[in-house]
Amino acid sequence: MRRYVLTITCPDRIGIVAAVTGFIAGHGGSVLEAAQHGDLSSGRFFLRIEVTAESLDMAPDDFRTAFAPLADEFAMTWQLSDSAERKRVVILVSREEHCVADLLYRYRSGDLECEVVSVVSNHQDLRSFVEWHGLPYRWVPMGTEPAVRRAESFAELERLVGADRPDVIVLARFMQILPDSFCAAYPGRIINIHHSFLPSFAGARPYHQAFARGVKLIGATCHYVTPDLDAGPIIEQDTRRIDHADSPDELRRVGRDIERTVLARGLRWHLEDRVLVNGSKTVVFA
Amino acid sequence: MRRYVLTITCPDRIGIVAAVTGFIAGHGGSVLEAAQHGDLSSGRFFLRIEVTAESLDMAPDDFRTAFAPLADEFAMTWQLSDSAERKRVVILVSREEHCVADLLYRYRSGDLECEVVSVVSNHQDLRSFVEWHGLPYRWVPMGTEPAVRRAESFAELERLVGADRPDVIVLARFMQILPDSFCAAYPGRIINIHHSFLPSFAGARPYHQAFARGVKLIGATCHYVTPDLDAGPIIEQDTRRIDHADSPDELRRVGRDIERTVLARGLRWHLEDRVLVNGSKTVVFA
Amino acid sequence: MRRYVLTITCPDRIGIVAAVTGFIAGHGGSVLEAAQHGDLSSGRFFLRIEVTAESLDMAPDDFRTAFAPLADEFAMTWQLSDSAERKRVVILVSREEHCVADLLYRYRSGDLECEVVSVVSNHQDLRSFVEWHGLPYRWVPMGTEPAVRRAESFAELERLVGADRPDVIVLARFMQILPDSFCAAYPGRIINIHHSFLPSFAGARPYHQAFARGVKLIGATCHYVTPDLDAGPIIEQDTRRIDHADSPDELRRVGRDIERTVLARGLRWHLEDRVLVNGSKTVVFA
Amino acid sequence: MRRYVLTITCPDRIGIVAAVTGFIAGHGGSVLEAAQHGDLSSGRFFLRIEVTAESLDMAPDDFRTAFAPLADEFAMTWQLSDSAERKRVVILVSREEHCVADLLYRYRSGDLECEVVSVVSNHQDLRSFVEWHGLPYRWVPMGTEPAVRRAESFAELERLVGADRPDVIVLARFMQILPDSFCAAYPGRIINIHHSFLPSFAGARPYHQAFARGVKLIGATCHYVTPDLDAGPIIEQDTRRIDHADSPDELRRVGRDIERTVLARGLRWHLEDRVLVNGSKTVVFA
């Protein structure tokens, strides 16, 4: 069923929902889902409304034109998504398979509604698996180069990714730190999975850090990428129980299951326009 | 902060939310929370809106009068609750303390916004604990009587409970089956905690049933009471992991923690008008 | 690291652990893990000991010979597994991919230590995916045949499976009921995933049953197959939260994640000899 | 049923379990539970064995004498607990009731097998509740004193606690930092509950820190107290889901449930001698 999703952020005041739902009802719109949040700290209001396409008496572009005056009146930042226009996804990956394997399983089974455009990697390991899906696999070696060559590699990476015109870039255990320019080029559109329950164990080797500290649960965090490493707005997290008998390798094994689940959930919500950025945090209408 | 909660059920059609939020905005109402659900199976629509009292230009009764024509237009079943009028709660309990102890802890700490009016029991065990809270403890012995005496006991129970004019009756491990007449007198207002993950292990001794079957998790279920034993609309459930080494007594120990948590959550949602009955099921705007 | 796993069931009495660990220590055995359980209901004792292969002064067959008198003395049912001899696994599947995709991901990444010998299906849907792994895909059509043909199909299935000499048969959403003879031929060696939290919603269309009942969590159950449908000893279960807004299709989507996780965990424990059958229940040394 | 619990830590080597279980079997000991762990990082071995008292042919002190030579041979640190000698518990608390209320409920219902000797507080708030249990409530005001007076208050606290000869001291939301001398006097015997999922949000106001960072789950940590604030060996942790709509007050409300559960579990394990300290970590035979 084709659907439009309207997402809105604006200063909180009385009458926003009445105005927006009145506008939609006035055009025959049948609402499938609606969720809202007024944030007391920032004074911002967040709204997501999902409407069946066939119920509206307008095409998406006409909706956008007709809605603009109302949006201006309330000083809204807003967008209307059309489920018929699937978001373009580029996946970046290094050598570890678990996240990309899970995303591609969900993609081919229809769980994730999007168009995976390409997979980009600094290694060759996953080429055969990706290509079995009929997807292009782009290789940008960036292992052990000196700084100059490294900058060239990232320029090549940025060029290749950009050529695929992604709506979303997913770092599915991509083990390189992206340059700030790359992060800045896709604000709120790069999704990373970090293999710890942030803010604990940011940085390298989080499972070893967790083992050393003796925690009783480990976790993973899906977040938007910003130039500040591991500090972007958190989309989703989860944890699982471990015990004293689990070695760092066991933690990595358990952690892989958390990572792939949390990343898939976060990406799914992003694709469905359920995640609205609120400063350094997120509003998630799950 | 004083709040009004408007809950609505009606046939689903276009424009309900616009009409209701338009009405509220027209009276200056500042919305704290709003949630909705259109049920495809039944074609019914469910809405809950929470408004700050001070923002509205009317008292609750004036609101009710002014809203009635709109409600009629959409064939709504609806009510407006005022947080300043705390719901009256009567707790029924037998000998096991864990649920009532948890409810009263949450009551005295302000976690549960209500007025606990009395505790009624067929045993004397918990009198001192209840009375320490300054609450009346009403004793209706009903142990081993023949049928005639039993009916008299239940009549006495019903009379005592009724005299306290409860908005909600909570069966906090009350180990007697209520007569149908009692159930029918408080539709959607009697909340029970059953010590299994229904529909598994309905009836007596669920922990022994669970032990015999060898399940790997046990659970508890909070539901509205109907004349069909353990078959009323489910409000909340949860489960917890056990293993082969756990005896039936261990299951009871673990289960007590699930029961008290699930009951407290279910009751809290009910008190906040977050639970709407939808036939044999519930809509919970948690 | 090569390991031997000794698993024992016998009548409970004093001195079993001392005798067994004394035997192992006497042969230089370095114990990696040990777990035990005395079952009060049945009076049976269960023991699992994992030893590094290089520490023992005997080969596995010599161990078996030397250990036999001790085993007889305590009336043990026992076996010694050698991690160097990987268990042979045959996977049966119909059309749904999620369980087999997860198992094969774990197989190729080394998470599941075994040898997947073949995948057998009554449909062609998953042939390409399975064959990409270099595994034989055996097709036994059994859709809409009359009873006679159906028996022939099952005979063919049983013949094909048998020819692969499986140690374990995994029903990874195989949507046909196995004949009793098949079940009887592999006692404690056929593992099924049922898409409900048994004993709730046994039989067909459990997600629709769950939706109709209005439960607040759904689950999945991994169990050994016996001639009694959905009643075999439970190995592992898990649940996840849903709510009133989730359609049966949503339940199926959420359920797929539970199913594949629970099946993978159950199979892994079986492969590592962590599951001992105790009548209609299991002891799981996880 | 009266039980002895033998707990052992020693350098790992072959034959420890055989020697210990052989000793126990030689004296008729019927083992209820046994668990072991060899820690590869430290090379230490950990063992816990629970035996029915009536099965042994010796009293506890005779056991200790008879076992000593074996313990010396393996360089064991060890102890034998007798369930008939209940551990003496002193609870320290400030103003928040949830943890102490939960501990006392479990105490009076028999869930926690121990002897609560007294409750000590720097406030008067909980006196009536504690005294209803028939327990002494000791008040040591320590609010806003200058440093000198503060040291006196702590000396008084230490004196009062010491006079009750505690086996365990539980900080059930005691909001004062204990002096190093106090910590040092009870190594591995002071249990604290911290209201965050450590190492995240150590220090003050963790729920506000969690709110500011926008995490999607919050947690609590039960740990042994050492002079390093919030850095002692972790006994138990748990987490629960929150969302963008939850205010810091909501986090505190949800957090209280996690805190009391995690503290009760950690204390229970400690009372049953299931927690063995391994450097800055713990081995928990749950």
Q: In the predicted model, is pLDDT for residue A188 greater than 90?
A: yes
Q: In the predicted model, is pLDDT for residue A145 greater than 80?
A: no
Q: Quick one: average pLDDT of C91-107?
A: 97
**CA D259 to CA D249: how far, in whole Å?**
15
Chain A residues contacting C via beta carbons under 8 Å: 33, 97-98, 101-102, 105, 108-109, 111, 128-129, 132, 245, 253, 256-257, 261
Calculate how close chain C gets to A240, using CA atoms only, in Å. Answer: 13
Calculate how close chain D gets to A57, using CA atoms only, in Å. Answer: 34
- 3-state DSSP call for residue D218? strand
At A149 the pLDDT is: 82
Name the residue in chain A with its Cα closest to that of B28: A14
Q: In the predicted model, is pLDDT for residue B272 greater than 70?
A: yes
At D26 the pLDDT is: 96
- 3-state DSSP call for residue B38? strand
pLDDT digits (tens, 9 = 90+) for D21-32: 999 999 999 999
* B172, amino acid identity: A
At C144 the pLDDT is: 67
At B169 the pLDDT is: 98
Confidence of residue B148 (pLDDT cuts 50, 70, 90): confident
Which residue ranges form the domains of chain D, and what is each CATH number? 3-82 (3.30.70.260), 88-284 (3.40.50.170)
Q: What angle do CA D153, D155, D157 make, to 5 degrees?
A: 70
Annotated catalytic residues of B are: 230
At B143 the pLDDT is: 66
Catalytic residue among C102, C167, C230, C273: C230
The pair of three-digit structure tokens given for residue A263, joined into one six-digit string = 């990343």
Average of per-residue pLDDT values in chain B: 95
Which among A199, A201, A282 has the least Cβ separation from residue D244? A282
Q: Quick one: average pLDDT of A107-122?
A: 96
Confidence of residue B127 (pLDDT cuts 50, 70, 90): very high
Q: Quick one: average pLDDT of A113-121?
A: 98
How many residues make up chain A in this entry?
Answer: 286
Which among B197, B236, B278 has the least Cβ separation from residue C197? B197
At C150 the pLDDT is: 83
Chain B residues lying within 8 Å of C239, measured CB to CB: 197, 217, 219, 239
Q: In the predicted model, is pLDDT for residue D145 greater than 70?
A: no
ipTM: 0.95
Among C183, C273, C202, which Cα is nearest to C235's? Answer: C273
How many residues make up chain B in this entry?
Answer: 286
CA-based radius of gyration for chain C: 21
**CA C28 to CA D107: how far, in whole Å?**
46
Query: D2-12 b/e with 16+ CB inside 10 Å = b?
Result: ebbbbbbbbeb
Q: Quick one: average pLDDT of A152-165?
A: 95
Which among B28, B31, B38 has the least Cβ separation from residue A17? B31
At D143 the pLDDT is: 66
Mutation target vs C (from A253, A263, A268, A269; most C CBs, 10 A cutoff): A253
At B120 the pLDDT is: 98
At D230 the pLDDT is: 87
Return all residues near C48 (Cβ < 8 A) that are at least 6 apart: C5, C6, C7, C8, C33, C34, C35, C36, C273, C274, C276, C285
Name the residue in chain B with its Cα closest to that of D99: B105
Q: Quick one: average pLDDT of C73-100?
A: 97
Task: Compute how many other C-beta atoms are within 10 angstroms of the C-beta atom of residue A38.
Answer: 19
Q: Residue B111 carries which DSSP code?
A: S
Task: Compute how many other C-beta atoms are within 10 angstroms of the C-beta atom of residue D102.
Answer: 25
pLDDT digits (tens, 9 = 90+) for C34-48: 999 999 999 999 999
Mutation target vs D (from A47, A48, A216; most D CBs, 10 A cutoff): A216
Quote the strand ranges of B122-167, DSSP E: 137-139
Confidence of residue D100 (pLDDT cuts 50, 70, 90): very high
Among B83, B85, B74, B87, which Cα is nearest to B47's? Answer: B74
Name the residue in chain D with its Cα closest to that of A38: D245
Task: Compute how many other C-beta atoms are within 10 angstroms of the C-beta atom of residue C99.
Answer: 26
Which among B109, B129, B132 has the least Cβ separation from residue D97? B109
Question: With contact defined as beta carbons under 8 Å apart, do D274 and D284 qualify?
Answer: yes
Calculate how close chain C gets to A216, using CA atoms only, in Å. Answer: 16
Q: In the predicted model, is pLDDT for residue D144 greater than 80?
A: no
- A38 and B31 in contact by Cβ < 8 A? yes
**CA D71 to CA C218: how far, in whole Å?**
51
Calculate how close chain B gets to C271, using CA atoms only, in Å. Answer: 19
Which among C98, C102, C109 has the least Cβ separation from residue A97? C109
Q: Which has the minimum average pLDDT: A140-144, A173-177, B263-267, D75-79?
A: A140-144
Q: Report the neighbours of A using a cutoff of 3 or more CB pairs below 8 angstroms.
A: B, C, D
The residues facing C45 across adjacent strands are C10, C38
At A88 the pLDDT is: 98
Average of per-residue pLDDT values in chain C: 95
Q: In the predicted model, is pLDDT for residue B144 greater than 70?
A: no
Name the residue in chain A with its Cα closest to that of C32: A245
Which among A40, A200, A284 has the least Cβ separation from residue D200? A200
Q: Quick one: average pLDDT of B185-203?
A: 96
Question: With contact defined as beta carbons under 8 Å apart, do B16 and B37 qualify?
Answer: no
The pair of three-digit structure tokens given for residue B266, joined into one six-digit string = 């279910």
| Cis before D199? omega within 30 | yes
- B244 and C199 in contact by Cβ < 8 A? no
Q: In the predicted model, is pLDDT for residue B147 greater than 90?
A: no
Among D250, D178, D181, D174, which Cα is nearest to D218's? Answer: D250
At D148 the pLDDT is: 72
Mutation target vs A (from D9, D40, D194, D216; most A CBs, 10 A cutoff): D216
Q: In the predicted model, is pLDDT for residue D146 greater than 90?
A: no
pLDDT digits (tens, 9 = 90+) for D116-141: 999 999 999 999 999 999 999 999 99
Name the residue in chain A with its Cα closest to that of D241: A238
Q: Report the neighbours of B using a cutoff of 3 or more CB pairs below 8 angstroms.
A: A, C, D
- A22 and B18 in contact by Cβ < 8 A? yes
Q: How far is CA B224 from CA A38, A210, B230, in A?
A: 32, 44, 9
pLDDT digits (tens, 9 = 90+) for A42-98: 999 999 999 999 999 999 999 999 999 999 999 999 999 999 999 999 999 999 999
D262-265 long-range contacts, CB within 8 A, separation 24+: D262/D193, D262/D220, D262/D221, D262/D222, D262/D236, D262/D237, D262/D238, D263/D99, D263/D102, D263/D103, D263/D170, D263/D172, D263/D191, D263/D193, D263/D220, D263/D222, D264/D102, D264/D103, D264/D106, D264/D111, D264/D112, D265/D222, D265/D236
Calculate how close chain B gets to D246, using CA atoms only, in Å. Answer: 12
Nearest 5°: phi and psi at D253?
-65, -50
Question: With contact defined as beta carbons under 8 Å apart, do A171 and A161 qualify?
Answer: no
- B234 and C247 in contact by Cβ < 8 A? no
Q: In the predicted model, is pLDDT for residue B229 greater than 90?
A: no
> Could you tell me if residue D88 is left (phi over 0), alpha (psi between -120 and 50 degrees) or otherwise beta?
beta
Task: Compute how many other C-beta atoms are within 10 angstroms of the C-beta atom of residue B28.
Answer: 15
Catalytic residue among A230, A243, A246, A257: A230
Catalytic residue among D111, D167, D228, D230: D230
- B14 and A21 in contact by Cβ < 8 A? no
At B116 the pLDDT is: 98
Q: Report the neighbours of C using a cutoff of 3 or more CB pairs below 8 angstroms.
A: A, B, D
At B230 the pLDDT is: 87
Report yes or no on whether pTM surpasses 0.90. yes
